[in-house]
Amino acid sequence: MSKIDYYVHPQALLESTQVGAGSRIWAFSHVLPGARIGADANICDHVFIENQVVIGDRVTVKCGVQLWDGVTLEDDVFIGPNVTFSNDPAPRSKLKPEAPLQTLVRAGASIGSNATIRPGITIGPGALVMDGAVVTRDVPSNAIVAGNPAHITGYRDTPQLALAGSLNAGATLPTLQARGAALHKLPKIVDLRGALSFGEVGAHLPFTPQRFFMVYDVPSKEVRGEHAHKACHQFLVCVKGSVGIVVDDGERRDELLLDNPQLGLHIPPMVWGIQYQFSSDAVLLVLASDCYAADDYIRNYDDFLAAVRGVNDGR
């Protein structure tokens, strides 16, 4: 018989033999035979874990949580008290689905107390679900979501730059942490006929544009763009209204609000860009260094991180 190197409270019922070293299973918890629990996990009181459940290393599951078949919690996940999971989108008594929907909570994500997670959802790595949120759609990496239905309110570990006053005469624009991304101040000319802002290649634009497009009439403040480019540079100007932007180089992130046609943002290749929180009147102008090419896009954040590691390893 193998040595037991984890702790089980006398009032817990552990039927699984797949429990990692250093894990702790507390009173009145019930773990079915097929469940797998990693190392150094903390399963608190009154937790029920079904057979087809996988729990990674260093996971915390607080009191009053039920993990049904099809739920996977990757490493370093935190599940708050009374979080509700499900695996059947239309449950009926005595009628079980052929297979449970798969719900995945990625590494480092946290879910606050009393949140409800609909079946088949993926919570991205590092994401934060606020207390009481009802999550009906996938949550992107590092996103903070709240409300019913849950919507993105921000991003974790992402400084929000204060740009007020930075366009005044003599003021300096802040430096971005994301590698290669930069803010640019565009000239403004005002007379009795109105105001004019412009940019010149070299003086203001760090590349020669080959294409432009505009984003407008966005119906909600949800995420509109989320991707990186392998080779294409982009220069963003919100010519009307406002839009929130996150730039991410795989290690560091910045968040800022584009709300002035004098303010331009250069996003170089291999920087992940997110556009969200469009105002109802927002018009976003994007200048691109290359014509459209579908294979230049990286649309999956895990693929982006792998590509960044490959670039860095090749230095």
DSSP characters for 45-113? TT-EE-TT-EE-TT-EE-TT-EE-TTEEE-TT-EE-TT-EE-S-SS-BTTB--SSPPPEEE-TT-EE-T
Task: Point out the catalytic residue in the list 227, 229, 233, 266.
Answer: 227
Dist. CA 224–CA 236, nearest whole Å: 14
Tokens of 178: 């994301």
Residue 113 and residue 132 in contact, taking contact as beta carbons nearer than 8 Å: yes
Sign of the torsion formed by the C-alpha atoms of 2, 5, 6 and 8: positive
DSSP characters for 180-193? T-EEEEPPEEEETT
How many residues appear in the chain? 315
Dist. CA 4–CA 15, nearest whole Å: 13
Tokens of 192: 């009795």
- Hey, is 298 helix, strand or coil? strand
Dist. CA 216–CA 128, nearest whole Å: 29
184 flagged as catalytic: no
Dist. CA 105–CA 27, nearest whole Å: 25
Pairing of strands 128-129, 110-111: parallel
Dist. CA 235–CA 265, nearest whole Å: 5
Active-site residue list: 227
